[in-house]
Structure formats: structure tokens, C-alpha cells
Structure 1
């Protein structure tokens, strides 16, 4: 048996023998025999689990002394001691809490690397009113534990820091940032919460100066910048007072910070300008705030930012004026207050009057080449002649002609010149126009419009010769010009002589103030340059016709149809042929013209020309020739016009030669026309034969057309045949009609293509007539027979 005379268990047994009952003797013998073995002690502790607290403490205290490095024993012992103090006031029972603290200290001397024991100890200390001791315990825990386990201590340490607040909390967070610098945003929140605004601003600057920093809250750099500026503005006085108390600390230049943000974040300039002004207001520097507002509204680049700054400026001035008005109405009113109020009211009115000009400035800063905004600025000055002229001068000097996208630059020169014209200074107006004529406009059409405006001014001044000379100079070009009017690489002045807009104005001008020969010369020059349009051809021909140059006008039409192909040539031919027929030219010449027109005419335009040709033959030629023309038309016109052309041909033939002469036309039409048109034509053909008394021929036509008429989709065809048989047939012919009707119905029922087409094109209910009503037959024997057969 091992010697246990010097063991703590033996010593305790001699001193506290009265705590051992008879049931404990067996366990006491085991622990005396094996004092440094965990098993006997755990059995003993479990045996005493239902005993009084002092007996359990007696056993656990002895076990902890003999097994000083047993985490399990210490955990059971410390949990028991803490559980015993649960709900007890630590201030009133400070000694009891201190005893447990000593137990924790003894345990941690032996088990300093156990994070669970440290956490239990720290939680226990946080319940007590011993801040310094708790803080030191946290520090010891961080020193004792490896850094990989610090993440278990720091959350509790930060909770302790937020509970104690003050400089202690700040120092703890500063240490924590060395461990996790990415949590600096939490430190900033704590500083703001504790009213350490200057320190919070310094931490914001550290975030902004760290290029690799990534916010764990997903904040952008601009959001952080905005939070910093809001902090500096809202707590400007507190921050200034902090630096006054601590002159040795490095001060933050708030104005410099906000101005750097204005340069960096161009899309948020309005808000930052307002923040800078609010900072000045918070410090009581009202004049400085006004300077900031003025600088802001004259430098922002968007209307949104301008409205933001201007509204804040107005609100500030209104608040100052209201304060002065309250002061002026009180007992403390003085002449100085009244004078300042008058000055402020005058400045406020001036500010409101400047608003339209300031908005215009914003738009011009956005795009100095905005012609419309320059025109608006001119309008804002009203009758201020000096400012109007200065604005026009600045606009002309500022706008880049190649970048003038909003508005027409030529209009600016024209309006500038009209301003002088209204003032009666034509000499200065000419100077403006002459200056504009040398501007490299973005397009040649703008230059042409400017020439037209210049010429119209001369016409208003009744200087007709000068206007004609001006446009003649503008349209002057080489005899055989090869310049492409749409080639943007060539200067507008070199392409101007091919501007159809300018030539049209020139024609109208010369036609108004010049001679016929002068006008013809201008028109001929247009044709030489190959810039004539169909309208030019028509106008030239009408001009010659008005002046009794009929043959020359016909030649112009011929030049036009030669220059322009179809479909434009169709309109010219239509006019030409109509006027030629009206002039009653030689028939042979007219026939030749019609043949020329029809030679290359597309089918979709041939119908009108053939009808006009036929009209010519009917009125001035032979009926036989007219029929030949109409017959040609039936094969030359477009597919959609062919059926109509055949009907017209048949009508004319019947009128001239009688109904029998239309039979071969009907037969040929039925052969070439589509099924739908054939069915309709067969109806007409059968009616014609019935009128001639050819009943069998009419019946044969109905039989032939039945193959194109589905009884369900085209009931009218069968109704007509039915009526025909009732009036002209007998029992056999009527039965034959019914047989054919059933055969056709069966044919369409088995035609896959037809079934698909019928499904797509099915008409609404009620539009397709029934083959036969379900009512009893009448007295007519034919109707009775039809009822029985069906």
C-alpha cells in the first residue's frame, strides 16, 4: 500500500474528519490509495453530487490540489462555485466572489492555455465591479493563449469595452485593430457613439488613405467619404473645440477634404458644395458660407447639382432674413439691424433674379456648343443691347462649328444679323452674314440656309440685284463639277454649288425678279450639275408651259424620264402623257411615247399607262387598236390587277363588239387567273350566256367553275346555280348539279392543303351559309327533290 502520510488528502482527513460520513469511507480509501489518479476522485465526486455544498466543495478542493493539472476536475469545481453564486449581488458579497476569483487564478496558473477556463473567468469578472482587474485578466488571457484562439476572446473583450466606454474602450479597440484592421468601421461607430468625433474623423481618413481597404459592410469609397463629410459638418464645433483643447494634435482641414471630394466625385458635387457651406455655417462664418454657395452655383456642371446648391442657398438666406426680421421687430432693434436687413433683402432679390442666367450657365458649361442655350441667353437679356451683342459675340467665339449638335449654328448668325436689321443697321448685319459665310459649318445645308437668310434680308431691303448676285456667287462652280455634295471631308463652301436647296431658292428668286431666259439658264445649270429632282423637272416643265414653250416643256419631261428610272419615271410619264394628250399631238407621236413609257415599265405601274393608252385609241384612234392595247394589258399588268383588267377588257369588248365577242376573253381569263378570280368570272360568264339564251353553255360554265367553289365557303356560287336550274333545268340536270356538289365537297374534304387553309381562314359563325335549311320542303317540286337528295 503506498505511503500517503504527506498527501493533501491525508492532511485534510485529519483536519476535516467530521465531513466524512460512513458511506464515504470506501471512496476515501480509494483516493488515499491513489491520490493522483482521476478515476477514484471522479467516482467520489459523483457520489457526493447530492450532498450539501460544503461537502462537495471539500471533496473538489482536495481533488484540485492533488490533480492540479486536471481540466475536468477544475471545470467541475469552478462551475460548482459559480453556480453557488448565481443571482447573488457581487457588491454585497464581494468576499465570496473574491474567493472564486482566487480559485480561477489557481486553476489558470496550472491551465493557462485552456480558453474555456479563461472565458468562464472573464464572464465571471464582468459581473463584478472591478474594471481594472477585468481588463488585466483579458490582457493576460490574450498573452497566454496562442493567436489562433484570440478570436474567442476578442468578442467578449469588445463587449466589455462597449460596457465600460470612455478612454478604456478606445484603447481596447485600438489594440483590437492591430489584430483585425478590417473592423475599423466598428471602431468608428464606437467613437461616434462616445462623442469622440475628431478621433472618428481621423479613422475615416485612415480608411480613405488605405487603397486596399474593402468595407465589410459593402460601403463604397464615396459612401465612406460622405459619412466623413457629414461627421465633419454636423459636429464641426465639437471637433474645433477638441483641437482647441489639444493644440499639439494634428488637425483635420475639413475644407480641404471636402474640396478634394468635389474634384474626385464629379457626380456628387452639389451635395459636397452644400456640405462645405453647412460647415461654414456651423462655425458661424456666414460670409464664408455665401462665398461657398456662390462658388458652387457658378461651377457645378449639372442642373440637378445646381438646384441642390441653389435651394440650400435660398433656404440659408431666408433663415438669415427671418432672424433679422424677428430682431428688427423686438426691443433690441437698431439702425444697424434695419440696414443689414435691407442689404440682405436686396441681395436675396438679386440672387433670385440671377437664377435663369445661372441655369443657363450650367447648361453652357455642360456643352458650350449648345446653340439653343446661347439663343436662350440672348433672350434673357431682353432689351439690353450691350449684353445681347456681347452674348452673340461670345457664342460665335466659343462654339466649335463641327460640334454644334443642339440647334442650327447658321440660325445664330441669322438672328444676330436680324438684331442689327431691326435696329436699322444693315451695314453691321451684312458684316455678320459675311463673317458667317466663312465659317466651316458641319454640313453644307447649314451654309445654304445662311445664304438664303442673307438673300431674304436683302430682299426685305429691296436690294433685288444684290440678292441675285449673292446667290449667283454662292452657286458658282466648275463647268463639269465632280464634287460629291455628301462628302463630309470637303469644306461646305466647296460643295455649296451642288446644294439643291440653294438652287431651288435661286430658281424662285430669278423667276420672281428676272427674265424667262435667266430662269431657263438656272434650270439648265441644275440639269448640267445632275442634281435635279423630279420636282425640279415638273416645275421647269410647268414654267415653260406657262410661258407658252410647250415643246420645250415636253423635252424637259423627256430629260426627266431619261434621268430617273421607275418608280419616279412613272409619275413623270403620267404627267407628260396627260399633257401631251391634252395638247392633241399627232397620234403616231403619242403612240410612240406610250410605247416608250411601256417599254421598261414594271407590271405594278403598267395598269394606269395602258388605260391611258386605251383611252387615246378610243378617242383619237381605232376601236380595234384600243382592244389590242387592252389585250396587251391583261398580260403585262401586275398579278393583283389582272382580274380587274380582264373585266375592263370584257366590258369594253361587249360595248363595242357585243356580248358574243367576249367568249374567248372569258375563256382565256379563266385559264390564266387564280382559282378565286376564276370562280367569280365563271359566275359572270354564266350570266352572260344565260342572257344570250345559251342555257347549255351557261350550265357548262357552272360545271367548270364548280371545281373552284367549296360549298361550305362559297355558298353564293351554288345558290346562283340552284336558281339557274330551278328556272331553266329539269329533274336530271338538277340531280347532276347535286351530284357535282357532293363530289366537290368530298374532294375538298380529302384535300390536305385545302383543309389547312380552311382552318386558318375560317369565318365567324353565321357568315358561312348552310347548304340547306332543316325545314320541310315547299310546294316547288325542284325544292322537294333537292330536299330528298340531300
Structure 2
């Protein structure tokens, strides 16, 4: 009723309307609707007034009276607090915010704090007040600490900001609302405590930065520079130098090293420049300066010696390669190449080089080494050798052979280098003793162990099987030892079954030089028993050649057995050379028949691609030994193409051509022609015109018109057989092609062609792919309905092709050949004969419909027959 009353009197003056609201609220003080409407009316009335106007104070009092009963309504609090913020009543506004937070439930506080924080950001708000309010806010919203930190930084309160950052970094549950990582917060903290060391009190800056160095390894260089910068701004320059040096000796990346080294160099140059400007006797004042980054710091140092500063800067520059090498080795202490580079840095300083070598060989783990660890030991020993200290070099080698290297070859290399050093100093007996010691089998050797079990042990237990070591040892024995000692070493290598084909060849050559032929052949026998193809090929080659060279034909049967054994072991693709050697042996010292047997076995054994050259040699030797009869037998065997004498098609054709040439020379023209006919099926006239040219020349020289025509007929037949595949392909393509004259053909860019139309029509008449109708289609009436049989039995006429090329049939050619001997008179007489066309009676064809030929069914046939008879 009160609301309807107020609505009815809404056109009265504001004073009377306010009285109505007051009366209504006195009766209904808990009406939220009446209070909201009343306060809105009052706020509308004071819009635009000065903050000092009395109406605003009356409105404030109205809000206060409303909050007596409406203190749980956040909307009224927000309107009231916004009004106070606009009036810039700091104390009253702050207290009203506190009252609102006390009156409203905690679920509504976020709405109040948004306006409260906005109020704190206004100019004129005391910093202490804002800081205290923010502390209260962080108790309910600890995740908004970054807002407080940003506020503190804007007010240049570096100490509280640093402490807040420390809390945020130490709290593992803290999650940045701005998306910052712990690493970024650390860097922000470092920037504050290093740039403002005097404001940051109560914090252990050194401990904070060092913990960051341990935790964030990707920014180590920057954190070390920040710590040194902190001491520089404090005026503690020697402490800053210590920090720089500690950073240079602990970083493990080149990027961090470069950052620290460049910063330290710049620091020393700045101090030196300041000292030069102020004089050697003046101490730098404790006043602010500017570094290269534009940052303020105090330049103050107790020293006043310019020469000392110059020497310090020069020494720092000279130490850079050494410091960088230390960084690389800290990054990976097992990098052998870096240790070698470090040794070269101290060239001319033997003491440092010895220290470096000692540190290297004691640091690098053989199982983790990157590079060849044995080169460090060898370089260490060679260093003593170059300085004339052979005894210490031997001590180094003695320690090196006890190192558990990862690979057997590394340990063998150390032994060989030790022996090489002894040889260079003319200690031949020592070198031989070293090799005997290295190749001696372990005393507790278990022969029953397998290769896998033996590899699991240290390399020292497998050293006696090192081929590198035995090769060096046998070279020493050949040069310095006796014949018996050298043979013993070679025999040990063979007994251990570690020999290579080259070792076998060297051993046999060594025995042959000393005229021990049979022992050399025994070595060859052991070699061929040890290896398989292809490794045994060179051993057999040397064995057979040396045996034949030594005995010739005196031990022919033994040589034959060796050749047969070699051929039995050899694969077909590696047997050609052995067959040729065997055949040469038989030709020179044996029987021609045996040589022919070798050649025959060769053409049966070698791969098809290698048979033709062997056939040529086989034929040449057969011609020399046995004459034409044997040659013809070989030719016939080769061209028949039966396993295992078969050749490739190309080689068979070439063989036929050579056979034909032989028969031609012997005057056997018919035999030569028959051979060419046999080979004609392998020669495509389109791709091999040489064969047909040769045959044509042969017919011109030895044939007649009949044989020439027969050759041409065979040529056409072969060409047709080779083109059959292409013909079938064209038929399939024509079947799948769009119908000529259709829309698809026109769209494809092709014009309608009469020939294409005829071919398509012929294909549609036949259900068999590749079949072309002769113009008549016959069907079985018994297979068709009675009403459709006569229609389907009718002959189908195909339009004549205007571009058809009329060729004489084979029968016509035969008739022409048969009448060729009658002379020109008979041909002239036949030319005057007038042929008449006569219809064939129907009875000739019986009851089969569609059999009667007609001129329409085969257009042009009569004309072709007339022209053939005329010719």
C-alpha cells in the first residue's frame, strides 16, 4: 500500500516525496524495496554537487540510517562505499569498508575488496594505510600476493617487496596468477636485492642467491653476476672478485662462463679507468657511478696501484683459455679430446702438462670415456720420452696396461706403442720380450669358456687373442727373430684361429722365400680349411698358382684334385677364374679331352651372364683340338637352350649368328639358313634390325627369290608375334575410352573420328575383348526366341572404311610366287582377262542363316582379287 501511495504521488515535489518515504520506512524499516528506491531518489538529487555540499552529508546520514536495518545487504554497502570514495573521505571511507567487511558474510567479501583495492590505488592514500590493508587482504586471498608486490614496487618499497617475493618463492603451493614461474620470481627477487642492497635489510642475500644458483641451473651465470653486483654496490670489491672467481670455477656451460667473464672484465676495466682518471694516489670516493647497463653503484676501492690493476686485467685475459677448458671438462670430465686440448694449452710448461696428464688419466672412467682413453696414456708416456726420461715412460706404460679398457684393441695399441718406443731406442730384445709377455695366455685360462663368457671379463684376460698384437709380434720376429721363432708365432696364430687370409698368405710367402714349399702348401691347406667364400678366394688363387708354378705337370693328378676341391667349394659366380686356370693347366700339361671336359663343366656351372665368353673360348679350343664336328656339337648344345647349357636370349641369338657364319664359310648354306630361322624368333625387327640386315645380306648372296620371300614372311610373322601384346593393350584402351562423338570425347579435346567410330562399333558387336568382326554376325536360332531369331540372324553390315589399306593376302602372294616362272607374257595375258561376278546359290550354304556372302559384307574383296590376278 505504501508503494502504491508513493507511485500515486510521484509528481509531487521532492520534499513531499521524501516525507512519504520517511513515513513509509518508519512503518516498514525492514523493507529493502523502499530503502533502495528512497536512496536512489536521494542519489539522483545530489548528482553533480560539490563534495562539500550539505546534501551529500544528509545522503550519508540516510545511508547510515538504512544500514541499521539493512547491514546484511551488500548492494547498499557498495552504493554507500562508492559514494564515500567519490567524496575522498579517506578515514571515514576506510572505516566504512571495515564495517562492511565485519557486517557482511565472508562469501560477500570479494565484492567489497574489489572496491576497497581500487580505493587504495587512488592518489593521496597513505602508503602505510595501503600496506596494512593489503596485508589483511592477503590473509583471505594469499594467491594475490603479486598484486601487493607490484604495489610495493610502484611505491619503491623494495624491502617489503623482497620479503614478499621470498615468501612466494619458498612456498611450494604458491601459484602465480600472472603465469610466472618460480624461476621468473627468483630473477625478479635477484634484481631487487642486487639493485637496492641498502633498502633490503634483514635478508640473507648471499644465502638466497646461492640457493637459487643450486636450484636454477639454466641461469647460473646471471645469478653469480647478480651476487657480485650486490657486493659491488655495497662497496666490497674484493668480495665481488671472489664471487666472480668462484663463479668462473663452478659454472658448467660456456654461456654462463662468457657472461661471468665479460662482467668481471668490465668490472676490472671500470675500476682501472676510474683509477686512471682520479690519479694513483686518490682513493675512489664512495659516490654513485653508472655502469655499462645504466645502473647505479658505488666505485670504491682501497688499492691505488695502477700497475697492479693492469697486471690483474692482463692475467685475467691470459687465463681465459684455461678457464674455458676447465668449464668444458666440468661439463664432461670424461671427454678425452678436451684433455688433449688442455695439455696443449700448457705447451712450454712441463710441470703443468704433467699435472694435467696425471689428472686426466685418474679422472676419465674407461666405461664412460668419450674418445680413445689409451691415447692419453700413450701421450703421457711419449711426453716423458721426448724429454729423455725413458724410465718414467716405461712406468707410465706399465700402469697403462693395467687399466681396464673398454675395448681389447685399445690395450693392444698400448702394448704396441710400448714396443715401438723400445725399438726407436734400439732396445730390440726388450721389444721382443714385451710381445712375448703380451701374447702369453693367462695361467688360469679355462679353455671350456665360450666366447661370450670370455668377453664379460677384463680385457687383460683376452689380450692373448688380439690379432693386432700378434701381427706386430710376427713382424718383429720376421725382422729380428729366427726362422723357427717366426714359424712358431705364425703357428700360434693359426692355432688360436684368429688368422686372417692375409696372415695365411704372408706365412706361406715367408716359407716360400726360405724354400719350404711343402710347408707353405700345408699352410694353404690350413687356410682353406679355416675360411669360406669370399674370404678364401685369394688363398685358393695363390695356392693353385704357386702349386702349378712349382710342379707344373709333374704332379698333375694332385693339381687336378686341388682344382676339383677348389671348384667344389667355390660358388658359381666365383668359379670362372678357377675354370680358366684348370683348363690352362690341362692344355699345357694334360690332355685335350680333359681340357674340353673342364670347359664343358665351366659352361654348365658359371652364371648365365658369364657363359658366352666361356663358350667363345670353348669353341676356339674345340676348333684347335677336334675340328668342325666338335664345334658343331658345342654350337648345337648352346643354342638348344636346355639346362644347364642355356644362354640368355641375346647371347643365344649371337651364338646362332656365329654358327651361321661358320656354316656359311664351310659352304653349308642350307644349314646356315636353318640356323637363322631358328634364331629369328629371338630378334624383334623393330628393336634389332641388325639381325635381319645380316639375314637379308645372306639371302642376297646365297639365296633366291623363294628364300627371300620366305625370310620376309618369317619377318612379318615375328613382328606380329612381338606386337600382339601391344595390340591387346590397344584393344583394352579402346574399350575403356569414351565413345567417339560423345560428350565425354568432346570434353576430352578429341574430335569425332570415323575410324574410331568403326572400331567402337565392332567392339560393341563382339563380347570377346580384342575380336574384330568381319562384317557378318551369325547366331544360333535355337538359342533365341522365335520372334527375335530372324532379326538377329540377319547380317550386320559395317560401313566401309574410306582409309583402309588393301594388302595382298598370303594366298595371293603364294599364287603370285607360283606364277612367277611363267614369264611376262602370261602376266600380260592375265591382265586382259575380264572377270564376271556370279551369285552363289543359296543351297550351297544350307540352312545356316547369315552364311551367304555379299558385296556389302566384305567391301573391296573383289577389287583386291582382280588386282592380285593382274599382277
CA distance in 2, matches of 1:167, 1:699: 124
- Aligned counterpart in structure 2 of residue 433 of structure 1, from 361, 383, 397: 397
CA distance in 1, matches of 2:690, 2:98: 111
Q: TM-score, normalised by structure 1?
A: 0.80
Partner of 2:795: none
Do structure 1's residue 720 and structure 2's residue 691 form an aligned pair? Answer: yes
Do structure 1's residue 327 and structure 2's residue 278 form an aligned pair? Answer: yes
Listed as ranges, the gaps of 5+ residues in structure 2 are 286-300, 700-706, 734-802, 807-812, 817-866
CA distance in 2, matches of 1:44, 1:730: 135
The alpha-carbon deviation at position 515 of structure 1 amounts to 2.6
Do structure 1's residue 626 and structure 2's residue 595 form an aligned pair? Answer: yes
Deviates most, 645-654 or 193-202: 645-654
The alpha-carbon deviation at position 272 of structure 1 amounts to 1.9
CA distance in 2, matches of 1:101, 1:263: 59
Contact kept, 8 Å, 2:272 with 2:306, in 1: the verdict is yes
Mapping 1:297-308, distance limit 5 Å:
297-308=248-259
> Residue 388 and residue 62 in structure 1: after superposition, are their counterparts in 2 closer, same or farther (change >3 A)?
same
> Residue 689 and residue 66 in structure 1: after superposition, are their counterparts in 2 closer, same or farther (change >3 A)?
farther
Partner of 1:128: 87
Mapping 1:68-467, distance limit 5 Å:
68-86=29-47, 88=48, 90-91=50-51, 93-163=52-122, 164=125, 166-239=127-200, 243=201, 251-328=202-279, 339-396=304-361, 398-399=362-363, 402-403=366-367, 405-467=369-431
CA distance in 1, matches of 2:384, 2:225: 43
How large is the RMSD of aligned CA atoms in angstroms? 3.7
- Aligned counterpart in structure 2 of residue 468 of structure 1, from 414, 427, 432: 432
Partner of 1:582: 549
Contact kept, 8 Å, 1:682 with 1:701, in 2: the verdict is no
> Residue 142 and residue 587 in structure 1: after superposition, are their counterparts in 2 closer, same or farther (change >3 A)?
same
> Residue 614 and residue 106 in structure 1: after superposition, are their counterparts in 2 closer, same or farther (change >3 A)?
farther
The alpha-carbon deviation at position 192 of structure 1 amounts to 1.6
The alpha-carbon deviation at position 291 of structure 1 amounts to 0.9
Contact kept, 8 Å, 2:638 with 2:645, in 1: the verdict is no
Mapping 1:34-45, distance limit 5 Å:
34-35=1-2, 38-42=3-7, 44-45=9-10
> Residue 620 and residue 423 in structure 1: after superposition, are their counterparts in 2 closer, same or farther (change >3 A)?
same
> Residue 549 and residue 75 in structure 1: after superposition, are their counterparts in 2 closer, same or farther (change >3 A)?
same
- Aligned counterpart in structure 1 of residue 568 of structure 2, from 594, 599, 602: 599
Deviates most, 682-691 or 230-239: 682-691
Contact kept, 8 Å, 2:274 with 2:284, in 1: the verdict is no
CA distance in 2, matches of 1:203, 1:364: 39
> Residue 140 and residue 583 in structure 1: after superposition, are their counterparts in 2 closer, same or farther (change >3 A)?
same
Contact kept, 8 Å, 2:455 with 2:462, in 1: the verdict is no
Do structure 1's residue 666 and structure 2's residue 638 form an aligned pair? Answer: yes
Partner of 1:20: none
CA distance in 2, matches of 1:646, 1:43: 132
Do structure 1's residue 692 and structure 2's residue 651 form an aligned pair? Answer: no
The alpha-carbon deviation at position 280 of structure 1 amounts to 0.8
CA distance in 2, matches of 1:104, 1:587: 135
CA distance in 2, matches of 1:437, 1:304: 39
Q: Deviations over 1:70-98 (max 9, x none)?
A: 43444344344434444x3644x432332
The alpha-carbon deviation at position 259 of structure 1 amounts to 1.5
Contact kept, 8 Å, 2:639 with 2:652, in 1: the verdict is no
Partner of 2:473: 506
> Residue 529 and residue 733 in structure 1: after superposition, are their counterparts in 2 closer, same or farther (change >3 A)?
closer
> Residue 401 and residue 185 in structure 1: after superposition, are their counterparts in 2 closer, same or farther (change >3 A)?
closer
- Aligned counterpart in structure 2 of residue 530 of structure 1, from 487, 494, 497: 497
CA distance in 2, matches of 1:165, 1:732: 125
The alpha-carbon deviation at position 596 of structure 1 amounts to 0.7
The alpha-carbon deviation at position 568 of structure 1 amounts to 0.8
Contact kept, 8 Å, 1:142 with 1:150, in 2: the verdict is yes
> Residue 409 and residue 683 in structure 1: after superposition, are their counterparts in 2 closer, same or farther (change >3 A)?
closer
The alpha-carbon deviation at position 464 of structure 1 amounts to 1.2
CA distance in 2, matches of 1:40, 1:552: 140
Contact kept, 8 Å, 2:653 with 2:682, in 1: the verdict is no
Q: Deviations over 1:612-669 (max 9, x none)?
A: 3233334433443333223222332345545665566556556764563443233343
CA distance in 2, matches of 1:144, 1:703: 122
CA distance in 1, matches of 2:8, 2:679: 117
Q: If each structure's helix is expressed as a fraction of its own residues, which one has the higher value?
A: 1
CA distance in 2, matches of 1:127, 1:547: 120
Contact kept, 8 Å, 2:194 with 2:229, in 1: the verdict is yes
Do structure 1's residue 614 and structure 2's residue 565 form an aligned pair? Answer: no
CA distance in 2, matches of 1:629, 1:570: 19
Partner of 2:515: 548
The alpha-carbon deviation at position 698 of structure 1 amounts to 6.1
Q: How many residue pairs get matched?
A: 704
The alpha-carbon deviation at position 734 of structure 1 amounts to 2.0
Deviates most, 262-271 or 492-501: 262-271
Contact kept, 8 Å, 2:43 with 2:59, in 1: the verdict is yes
CA distance in 2, matches of 1:552, 1:89: 129
Q: TM-score, normalised by structure 2?
A: 0.73
> Residue 313 and residue 699 in structure 1: after superposition, are their counterparts in 2 closer, same or farther (change >3 A)?
farther
